[in-house]
Amino acid sequence: MTSTLEVLSRIRTGRAAPESAGERCEMCAEPVADEHQHVVNVAARQLMCVCRACYLLFTDASANLRYRAVPDRFLSFPDFGLGRREWEGLQIPVGVAFFFHNSALDRTVAFYPGPAGATESELDMATWAAATRDPRVGLLADDVEAMLVRAPENAADPECFLVPIDVCYEFVGGLRLLWRGFDGGAQARDFIDGFFAGVAGRSVVQLP
């Protein structure tokens, strides 16, 4: 097993990654599997693919670190305080968005998917505060966990989930490949249905 000192030495010396067809850790250049973990570069707002050893260096949520490990937690928030009226007040132009607290900016930011990928929304903080009085908002870990929200037109209230931040970008990337026309098209809608069904299936119910 690679020790912490060995991992840090590789990062410090900046050893070039040997050429290989496989993906490599963006910190130490070790090969990583297709199913690998991620850390967030907090200042750069960048998601990085890493090996298990590097990932474990940044799992202390209480430490003041430049990088933070993305956890693997899925929660569903039934009867969340974000209702249809509050959602419409956020003025998100599509029926899906994700929200997370950016510690570098010290505020919540909102993104929604579209044909160009993830687009940041101009989030009115007063509206957001009024819309999220539900105490479960406080469960989200800064930078690495997001509240993923879907507001179907025929639903009384939006669906709300706590998910890892990399899941949100995976969703946006997959949707971008399928997006057609103004509203995304039938394939995009099927993808959204399937994605949220998968998130719901992985989520543990978290009551207020």
Return the closest-CA partner of residue 116 out of 66, 167, 184.
Answer: 184
What pLDDT is attached to residue 35? 87
Q: Which stretch of DSSP H or E encloses residue 114?
A: strand 107-114
Return the closest-CA partner of residue 66 out of 104, 92, 14.
Answer: 104
- Kindly list the domain boundaries of the chain, sorted by start residue: 4-69, 75-205
Residue 44 CB contacts under 8 Å (≥ 6 apart), including other chains: none
Give me the sheet containing 117-121, strands edge to edge: 117-121, 107-114, 96-102, 145-150, 159-164, 75-76, 204-205
**Which of the four pLDDT bands, split at 50, 70 and 90, describes residue 43?**
confident
pLDDT in tens, 91-143: 898 899 999 999 988 999 999 998 888 999 988 888 888 777 888 999 999 99
pLDDT, the chain, mean: 86
What pLDDT is attached to residue 124? 84
What pLDDT is attached to residue 21? 53
What pLDDT is attached to residue 181? 82
The Cα 137–Cα 147 span in angstroms is 8
pLDDT in tens, 134-185: 889 999 999 999 999 999 887 778 999 999 999 999 999 999 999 888 778 8
